[in-house]
Chains A and B, each alone.
Chain A
Amino acid sequence: MIERLDISTQTVSISRRDFLKLSATGLIVFFTTGDLALFTGEVDSAPLPSDFNAFLRIGEKGMVQCFTGKIEMGQGVVTSLAQMLADELDVAFEQIEMVLGDTDLCPYDRGTYGSLTTRSFGPALRQAGAEARAVLLELAAKHLDTAVADLVAERGEIFIRQRPQRRVSYQELTEGTRIEHYVSGTVQPKSPGEFKVMNRARLRSDALEKVTGEAEYAADIRLPDMLCARILRPPAHGATLRTLDTSGAESIPGVRVVHDGELVAVLHEKWDMADIALQRIRATFDEPEPHVDTDSIFAHLLEVAPSPSTLAAGGNLAQGERQSQSVVESTYHDGYVAHAPMEPHTATVHYDGDSATVWPSSQTPFPARDEAARTLGLPAEKVRVISPYLGGGFGGKTRNLQVQEAARLAKLTGKPVQVAWSREDEFFHDSFRPAAVIQIRSGLDKNRYLNFWDYHVYFAGDRGAEQFYDIAHHRTSSHGGIWGVSSGIHPFAVGAWRAPANNTNTFARESQIDIMAAQAGTDPLDFRQSHLQNRSLKGVLTAAAKRFGWKAAPAPSGLGRGIACGVDAGTWVATVAEVEVDKTSGTVRVTRVVCAQDMGLCVNPEGAAIQMEGCITMGLGYALSEEIRFSGGTIHDNNFDTYEIPRFSWLPKIETVIVDNVDSPPQGGGEPAIITMGGAIANAIFDACGARCYRLPMTPTRVKAALAVSG
Chain B
Amino acid sequence: MNETIRFTLNNTPITITVDRERPLLWVIRHDLALTGTKYGCGQGLCGSCTVLVDGTAVRSCQATVGEVADSEVLTIEGLAAGNDLHPVQQSFVEHDALQCGYCTPGMILQAASLLNRNPTPGRAEIIDTMENNLCRCGAHNRIVRAIEAAAEKLNGGG
Inter-chain CA distance A73–B102, complex, in Å, is 10
Interface residues of A in 577-621 (CB under 8 A from B): 606, 610, 613-618
Asked whether A204 and B102 contact (CB < 8 A) given A213-B34, A270-B26, the answer is no
B14 adjacent to chain A (CB < 8 Å) = no
For chain A, residues 153 to 196, give those with C-beta under 8 angstroms from any C-beta of chain B: none
Q: Say yes or no for A222: interface residue by CB 8 A criterion.
A: yes
- Which of the residues B30, B38, B139 comes within 8 Å of A610, measured between beta carbons? B139
Q: In chain B, residues 51-65, which have Cβ atoms closer than 8 Å to a Cβ of chain A?
A: none
Q: Which residues of A contact B93 (CB under 8 A)?
A: 203, 207-208, 211
CA gap between A612 and B42 in the complex, in Å: 30
A614, B38: Cβ atoms under 8 Å?
A: no
Question: Would A614 and B138 be within 8 Å (CB), given that A204-B96, A213-B35, A639-B45 are in contact?
Answer: yes
Q: Is the CB of A647 within 8 A of B96?
A: no
Whether, in the assembled complex, A420 has its beta carbon less than 8 Å from a beta carbon of chain B, the answer is yes
Within residues 629 to 660 of chain A, which ones have a CB less than 8 A from any CB in chain B? 639-641, 645-649, 651, 653-654
Given contacts A203-B96, A207-B96, A272-B26, contact A423 B42 (CB under 8 A): yes
Chain B residues with CB under 8 Å of A207's CB are 92-93, 96, 98, 101
Specify which of A73, A203, A269, A613 lies most central, judged by the most chain B CB atoms within 10 Å of its CB.
A613
Q: Across the interface, do B103 and A342 meet the contact criterion of CB distance under 8 Å? A: yes
Contact string against A for B residues 126-139, beta-carbon threshold 8 Å, 1 for contact and 0 otherwise: 01101111111111
Determine if A548 is an interface residue (Cβ-Cβ < 8 Å): no
Name the distance in Å between A342's Cβ and chain B's nearest Cβ: 4
Query: Which chain A residues lie closer than 8 Å to B137 at the CB level?
Result: 74, 342, 392, 614, 617-618
Q: Which residue on A lies nearest to B103, using beta carbons?
A: A342
Nearest opposing residue in chain A for B43, CB measure:
A639
A162 to chain B, nearest CB (A): 41
| Distance to closest chain A CB from B43 (angstroms) | 6
* A614/B41 contact (C-beta < 8 A), A222-B35, A391-B102 known: no
User: Residue A394 at the B interface, CB < 8 A?
Assistant: yes
A610 and B100: CB pair below 8 A? no
Complex Cα gap A617–B139 (Å): 8
Which residues of A have CB within 8 Å of B135?
342
Inter-chain contact A646/B105, CB cutoff 8 Å: no
Asked if A394 and B136 sit within 8 Å, CB to CB, the answer is: yes
Question: Does A343 reach chain B (CB closer than 8 Å)?
Answer: yes
> Is B113 part of the binding interface, using a Cβ–Cβ cutoff of 8 Å?
no
CA distance A389 to B89 in the complex (A): 19
* Chain B min CB distance to A618 (Å): 5
Contacts A212-B89, A272-B26, A342-B48 hold; do A75 and B127 have CB atoms under 8 A apart?
Answer: no
B43 close to A206 (CB less than 8 A): no
Q: How far is the CA of A392 from the CA of B136 in the complex (A)?
A: 7
Q: What residues on A are CB-neighbors of B92 within 8 Å?
A: 207, 211
Please, how many angstroms separate the alpha-carbon atoms of A75 and B103 in the complex?
15
Asked if A617 contacts B46 (CB within 8 A), the reply is no
State whether B35 touches A220 (Cβ < 8 A): yes
**Contact yes or no, A639 B30, CB < 8 A:** no
Q: How far is the CA of A375 from the CA of B92 in the complex (A)?
A: 41
Q: How far is the CB of A657 from chain B (nearest CB, A)?
A: 16
Which residues of chain A have C-beta atoms less than 8 A from B128's C-beta? 649
User: Is there contact, CB below 8 Å, between A610 and B142?
Assistant: yes
Contacts of A616 in B (CB 8 A): 138
Q: Say whether A203 contacts B94, CB under 8 Å.
A: yes
Once the chains are docked, how many angstroms separate the CA of A651 from the CA of B145?
A: 13
C-alpha spacing A615/B140, complex, angstroms: 12
Which residues of the partner chain A approach B33 to less than 8 Å between Cβ atoms? 222
Q: How far does the Cβ of B36 sit from chain A's closest Cβ, in whole Å?
A: 2
The 8 Å CB contact of B141, one of A75, A206, A651, is A651
> Which A90-123 residues have C-beta < 8 A from chain B?
none
- In contact, B40 and A212 (Cβ under 8 angstroms): no
Q: Are A342 and B131 CB-contacts (below 8 A) given A211-B89, A613-B138?
A: no
- The reply to whether A614 and B43 form a contact with Cβ atoms under 8 Å apart is no
Q: Which residues in window 213-242 of A have CB below 8 A to B?
A: 213-217, 219-220, 222
Query: From residue 406 to 450 of chain A, which have CB atoms closer than 8 A to chain B?
Result: 420, 422-424
* Given A391-B38, A610-B96: A647 and B102 interface contact (C-beta under 8 Å): no
Q: Shortest Cβ distance from A211 into chain B, in angstroms?
A: 4
Residues A267-290 near B (CB distance < 8 A): 269-273
Least Cβ distance of B121 to chain A in Å? 13
B117 within 8 A of A: no
Which A residues are CB-close (under 8 A) to B89?
211-212
| B29 interface hit (Cβ, 8 Å) | yes
Q: A207-B93, A391-B38 are in contact. Are A641 and B43 (CB under 8 A)?
A: yes
Give complex CA distance A214, B127 in Å. 27
A59 at interface, CB cutoff 8 A: no
Cβ-defined partner of B101 (8 Å) among A74, A340, A639, A646: A74
Q: Are A647 and B30 in contact (CB under 8 A)?
A: no
CB distance from A385 to the nearest CB of B (A): 19
For B134, list chain A residues within 8 Å (CB): 342, 640, 645, 647
- 10 new A-B contacts at CB < 8 Å, known A270-B31, A272-B23: A211-B85, A211-B92, A212-B85, A213-B76, A270-B30, A271-B26, A342-B102, A389-B100, A394-B136, A647-B131
Interface residues of B, Cβ cutoff 8 Å to A: 22-23, 25-26, 29-31, 33-43, 45-46, 48, 75-77, 79-80, 85, 89, 92-94, 96, 98-105, 108, 127-128, 130-144
Could you give 21 example pairs across A and B, Cβ below 8 Å? A74-B98, A211-B92, A211-B105, A213-B34, A214-B77, A271-B29, A272-B23, A342-B40, A343-B38, A343-B40, A343-B102, A391-B101, A392-B136, A423-B42, A614-B137, A617-B138, A639-B41, A639-B43, A646-B140, A648-B143, A651-B141
Shortest Cβ-Cβ A-B pairs, 8 listed: A213-B36, A617-B138, A391-B102, A74-B100, A210-B101, A74-B99, A614-B138, A213-B76
